[in-house]
């Protein structure tokens, strides 16, 4: 028969306290793991043409709760530019758009002056890994003095982001940058093409920026509008976050 001394009883109490704390910690972790994100309500069922906007600090304060989600089904927002610039509205837009139920993604404006690695690290510092966000986007709309070096560094940028976020980035381009850099070097990336006169003259585009003068209640002034090429299910699948 075991003999219960004061030391034994103290040890038992300590063990019980330890296992109680351990159990609470595991329970809390499970609740966090299984707690789903806020629902995405901006991609309605049955809508044939899915359209969205892209915004930055140029749009000023956005009243996300006033935006009609039958009109705006997704949103891309500027996060960073170059090696050091951060859009001052990104954090508030990122959080408010999620709270309002928008499917959202972040983009980086790429510049020749900085290395691809440095620009990627800056983007990673600013844009969190976020469940159910669309893949990161690199905005390539400026022609470079050294095209060969530009392509090399852009590949580093894209690879770094894919390694970090577990999602293959998308590339935003216009006719000039598509012909100069994208067409022959980045065929396996999803494309977001800007053309305000006609649909993209390329196959396989995902998004088409068709105007820079759209109007949305909740946003003062003009805003870019974009069309998605696929179905509702395919659009939501873009946000299938991988850790």
Q: Which residues are catalytic?
A: 54, 141
**Pair 149, 119: CB distance under 8 Å:** no
How many Cα atoms occupy the beta-carbon half-sphere of 126 within 13 Å? Answer: 29
* Three-class SS of 27-46: HHHHHHHHCCCCCCCCCCCC
User: CA 183, 189, 193, 198 torsion: positive or negative?
Assistant: positive
Measured CA to CA in angstroms, residue 61 lies from 131, 149, 218 at distances of 25, 38, 9
**Pair 142, 112: CB distance under 8 Å:** yes
Residues forming beta bridges with residue 108, ordered by sequence position: 80, 138
Q: Count CB atoms within 10 A of the CB of residue 151.
A: 17
Could you give the maximum distance between any two Cα atoms of the chain, in Å? 90
Give the pair of three-digit tokens for residue 44: 């309605």
Mark 158-195 as b/e (b = at least 16 C-beta within 10 Å).
Answer: bebbbeebebbbbbbbbeebbebbbeeebeebbbbbbb
Query: Which residues have CB under 8 Å from 138's CB, separation 6+?
Result: 107, 108, 110, 154, 157, 158, 161, 169, 170, 171, 172
């Amino acid at each position: 028969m075991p003999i219960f001394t004061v030391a034994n009883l103290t040890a038992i109490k300590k063990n019980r306290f330890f296992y109680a704390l351990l159990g609470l910690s595991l329970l809390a972790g499970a609740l966090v793991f299984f707690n789903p994100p806020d629902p995405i309500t901006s991609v309605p069922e049955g809508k044939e043409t899915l359209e969205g906007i892209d915004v930055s600090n140029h749009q000023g304060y956005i009243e996300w709760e006033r935006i009609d989600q039958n009109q705006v089904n997704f949103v891309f927002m500027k996060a960073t530019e170059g090696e050091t610039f951060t859009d001052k509205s990104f954090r508030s837009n990122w959080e408010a758009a999620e709270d309002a139920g928008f499917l959202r993604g972040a983009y980086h404006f790429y510049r020749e002056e900085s290395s691809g690695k440095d620009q990627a690290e800056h983007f990673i510092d600013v844009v969190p890994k976020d469940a159910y966000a669309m893949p990161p986007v690199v905005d390539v709309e400026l022609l470079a003095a050294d095209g060969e070096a530009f392509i090399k560094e852009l590949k580093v940028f894209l690879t770094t982001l894919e390694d970090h976020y577990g999602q293959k980035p998308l590339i935003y381009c216009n006719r000039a940058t598509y012909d100069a850099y994208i067409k022959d070097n980045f065929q396996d990336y999803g494309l977001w093409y800007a053309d305000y006169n006609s649909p993209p003259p390329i196959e396989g585009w995902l998004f088409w920026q068709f105007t820079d003068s759209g109007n949305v209640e909740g946003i003062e002034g003009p805003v870019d509008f974009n069309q998605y090429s696929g179905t509702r299910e395919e659009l939501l699948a873009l946000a299938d976050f991988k850790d």
